[in-house]
Amino acid sequence: MGIGPLLNWGGENKLEILKKILPCFFLTLGASIIFFLIYQSYSIIGVIGILLAFWIIFNNLITIIKKNKKYSAGMVIAHIGIGLLILGITGSSVWQKEKIIRMQINDETKIEKYNIIFENIDEVKGPNYLAIQGNFLVYNIKKSIVAKLKPESRFYPITNIFTTEASIHTNLLRDLYIVLGDGNLNDGWVVRIYYNPLVIWIWIGSLLIFLGGIASINTNLKKLKNLS
């Protein structure tokens, strides 16, 4: 999937193949090194997944830059989407962090590079439920507020059901979300904090695969129309 779009149909000598894949090889290696310098966590599955993702992405980006008309835009877009999908799955699987802790109001905890302060508890009355809402402030290493998360623990009187509503903050690098569990003012509340890197790239990759498929179908329909 990565190398295919760079090759010609039929015979091609090894030197020509090497010349074509060399730029992508260095791009993949460079991007992977930068990635691991940022995350500073290593595993065999993680290394394989990240190398594979960047290899597919860069090879197909080069195909777009070179305007290789032998391959449809839909196919190349879909392949880039698969590379991003692999990137997101690898990041969220290998570097995911979870923390379960009992916190009282004004307590502080840390996950990855974020400090989280349990600010207060509010009572919330919804259209068909009652809830307690935790208010959490999330600070980065520069001590700047990056998010205010408000998870809820809800009770539905009519059905006698308790549910939890997670609060999520998303950016291109990670998902950070908090779930408020059982507790009270005296003992504190059970708080679940999740740090999931690169999750959004799973959705972006899936969208590109879908768009690539639509583009390919459209191209094939035009070809059939021209033939008829």
Under 8 Å between Cβ of 96 and 69: no
Q: Is the pLDDT of residue 72 over 90?
A: no
Higher-pLDDT residue of 5 and 173 is 173
What is the average per-residue pLDDT within 152-156? 95
Give the E-state strand segments of the chain in sequence order: 97-103, 108-111, 114-125, 130-139, 145-149, 152-156, 161-165, 167-170, 174-184, 188-197
Q: Is the pLDDT of residue 146 over 90?
A: yes
Q: What does pLDDT average to over the chain?
A: 89
Q: Is the pLDDT of residue 26 over 60?
A: yes
pTM to 2 decimals? 0.83
14 contacts: CB under 8 Å, gap ≥ 6: none
Angstrom CA distances, 182 to 132, 138, 162, 195, stand at 10, 21, 10, 21
Q: Is the pLDDT of residue 21 over 60?
A: yes
Helix (H) or strand (E) holding 142: none
